[in-house]
């Protein structure tokens, strides 16, 4: 499975990572990723990226950076390829991070 490429493999891997999140966070991510929520997803992704860059502050963290990029990738094809490669790397090197393999 680790050698799969393309949007279906990216989505499967992303769903596996989302399934590991706490239920409240899962619900928020699923809600944000709905196709017609682009008007919320883009600003949320940008804010998460900025928050990730400000990880030195106590209430922000580096975890916000990849989450923001993943949210923006739903609307920007160039980021889609990047996140697809990230997810493939995660599946190959940290398979326990992805549920439902």
User: pLDDT tens digit string along 37-73?
Assistant: 999 999 999 999 999 998 887 777 888 899 999 999 9
Q: What is the pLDDT of residue 1?
A: 52
Domain limits for position 72: 7-93
CA distance linking residue 94 with residue 26, whole number of Å = 20
Assigned domain for 18 exists: yes
Is 18's pLDDT higher than 70?
yes
What are the distances in angstroms from CA 23 to CA 29, 34, 49, 85, 94? Answer: 10, 17, 22, 26, 22
Assigned domain for 1 exists: no
Assigned domain for 69 exists: yes
CA distance linking residue 41 with residue 20, whole number of Å = 21
Entry pTM: 0.83
Long-range Cβ pairs for the range 18-21 (8 Å, 24+): 19/99, 19/100, 20/97, 20/98, 20/99
Tally of domains in the chain:
1
């Amino acid at each position: 499975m680790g050698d799969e490429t393309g949007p279906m493999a990216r989505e499967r891997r992303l769903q596996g990572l989302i399934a590991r999140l706490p239920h409240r966070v899962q619900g928020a991510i699923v809600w944000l990723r709905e196709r017609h929520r682009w008007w919320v997803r883009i600003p949320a992704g940008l804010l998460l990226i900025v928050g990730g860059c400000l990880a030195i502050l106590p209430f922000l963290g580096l975890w916000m950076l990849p989450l923001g990029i993943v949210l923006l990738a739903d609307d920007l094809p160039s980021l889609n390829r990047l996140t697809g490669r990230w997810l493939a790397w995660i599946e190959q090197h940290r398979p326990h991070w992805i549920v439902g393999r």
